[in-house]
């Protein structure tokens, strides 16, 4: 089984996790790490009130996060809470 760590839970992180989940299915595990306690990066915090349709993409990210083998781990800063060497193990 392959185990992947995706650093960052913004759009790029979730699209990467989605691609890995599709490519490896039940033969892979994906942990999405973020320094914030909640996922989605600027989609959650940086979208102007008049552009709320952009937030609809979070439903796609929800589907990825709910997939078997995909886990979101918040409040983790790479280099402080976990080292790159630990991620490579």
The domain ranges of the chain are 2-45+68-88
Distance CA 56, CA 33 (A): 22
Q: pTM of this prediction? A: 0.87
**Whole-number pLDDT of residue 27:** 97
pLDDT by residue (tens digit) across 60-82?
A: 898 999 999 999 999 999 999 99
pLDDT score for 56? 72
Summarize pLDDT for 4-57 with one digit per residue, the tens.
Answer: 999 999 989 999 999 999 999 999 999 999 999 999 887 777 766 676 676 677
Tokens of 52: 């709320």
DSSP run (H or E) holding 63: helix 58-66
Q: What is the pLDDT of residue 48?
A: 65
Residue 58's pLDDT is what? Answer: 79
2-45+68-88 adopts what CATH topology? Answer: FAD/NAD(P)-binding domain (3.50.50)
Beta-bridge partners for 42: none
């Amino acid at each position: 089984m392959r185990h992947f760590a995706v650093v960052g839970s913004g759009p790029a992180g979730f699209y990467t996790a989605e691609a890995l989940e599709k490519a490896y299915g039940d033969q892979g595990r994906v942990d999405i790490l973020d320094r914030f306690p909640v996922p989605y990066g600027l989609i959650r915090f940086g979208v102007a009130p008049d552009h709320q349709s952009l937030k609809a993409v979070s439903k796609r990210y929800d589907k990825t996060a709910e997939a078997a083998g995909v886990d979101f781990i918040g409040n983790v800063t790479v280099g402080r809470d976990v080292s790159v060497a630990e991620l490579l193990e």
